[in-house]
Amino acid sequence: MSWLVTGGAGYVGAHVVRAMAAAGERVVVLDDLSTGDPARLVAVPLVVGSVRDRGLVRRVLREHAVQGVVHLAGRAGAEESGADPLPYWTENVEGTVALLEGCRAKGVARVVLSSTAAAYPEADGTPRSPYGRTALAAEWAVRDGAAWGCAAVVLRCCEVAGAATPELGDRSPTGPLAPVFRAVDEGRRPVLHGDGHPTPDGSPVRDLVHVADVADAHLAAVRALTAGSPGGTHDVGRGEPSSDREVLRLVGEVTGADTEPEVVAARPGAPGRLAAADRTARELGFRARRDLRSVVASAWAAWRAQQPF
Ligand SMILES: NC(=O)c1ccc[n+]([C@@H]2O[C@H](COP(=O)([O-])OP(=O)(O)OC[C@H]3O[C@@H](n4cnc5c(N)ncnc54)[C@H](O)[C@@H]3O)[C@@H](O)[C@H]2O)c1
């Protein structure tokens, strides 16, 4: 019996595959390689195709004797989704529905959904970006699987960064540390969006979590479902504020660059949300182990490995 990991050639997915394989789980990956890279996968079967291809999904579920699905295939750019929302609805919502139809048809009744803290509502009651709204819709499609006996764990991941090895790093130009790394490369001062926030050092805060910890959370969800858990929705993060000033200080230490920022106008909206990490630890048995320095240092090593110089 195998677990199907959709989007397993992507940044987060490849770490999930690595953690599951290391823990002795048999894994098969379905990925259309739209942003994924097969070089991230070692010794794991890869089926190239879309989760929206209903026939292909059924074939993979049957041929690999799939017992559960970890679903990471989709699009994950909040800003991009604002400019061009329809592909987000197609890939994230239609893709999830097509996958679930295959699961129901083949009696696969365990699903882990990799979601995002961007699915949390803002003050007006809705997630801020089309990306967050499609993630929320996908969450409900998965959770409503309870009607046909499907147990689901939804993981609302905070801002994911770092890499287990440099080759597995985030290739997205909009990753959480990309702006400061670009500034270091170009010899510019990084930008700090406001220093009058109601936070201990006045700079914005967010919950930056190491991707290897995020992978461990997915493994914990797989284990919970295998043990018969009915599932639930959990935050995945360190549960501690990473302030932008602290991140800049660490980037300075790791890179040797001067990262004293240029302070510009604050962005609209409150400083970031922190994961309810204690609840996740209690209910899912998962807690992030890597600290912010390890996030920054491994992200920088991966960034350097991807640069052409
Ligand atoms: N990176 C982050 O900061 C972050 C934060 C929170 C949540 N997440 C969640 O993690 C998941 C993966 O994000 P990522 O950062 O690894 O992105 P990514 O773009 O690196 O990975 C997505 C993967 O899915 C594949 N894919 C896309 N559409 C597909 C389809 N229709 N069929 C099959 N494969 C398809 C891509 O080729 C890629 O390999 C997303 O669900 C996202 O919501 C990511």
Q: For residue range 52-77, what is the model confidence (pLDDT) as tens digits?
A: 999 999 999 999 999 999 999 999 99
Would you state the pLDDT for residue 179?
95
Pocket flag, ligand 1, residue 6 (CB < 6 Å):
yes
Give the confidence band of 269 by pLDDT, cuts at 50, 70, 90.
confident
Contact yes or no for 189/263 (Cβ under 8 A): no
- The CATH number of the structural domain formed by 2-160+208-239+275-289 is 3.40.50.720
- The CATH number of the structural domain formed by 167-205+240-273+301-306 is 3.90.25.10
Would you state the pLDDT for residue 273?
87
At 17-41, the pLDDT tens digits run 999 999 999 999 999 999 999 999 9
Would you state the pLDDT for residue 180?
97
For residue 75, the CA-to-ligand 1 centroid distance in Å is 5
pTM, to two decimals:
0.97
- The verdict on whether 88 is a catalytic residue reads no
The domain locations on the chain are 2-160+208-239+275-289, 167-205+240-273+301-306
Q: Which residue has the tokens 């390890």?
A: 294
At 156-175, the pLDDT tens digits run 999 999 999 999 999 888 89
At 214-268, the pLDDT tens digits run 999 999 999 999 999 999 999 999 999 999 999 999 999 999 999 999 999 998 8
Pocket test for ligand 1, best of 32, 54, 57, 210 (most atoms within 8 A of CB): 32
Strand 151-157 versus strand 66-71 pairing type? unpaired
For residue 104, report the phi and psi dihedrals to the nearest 5 degrees: -65, -45
Q: 45: which residues sit within 8 A by CB, 6+ positions away? A: 27, 28, 29, 64
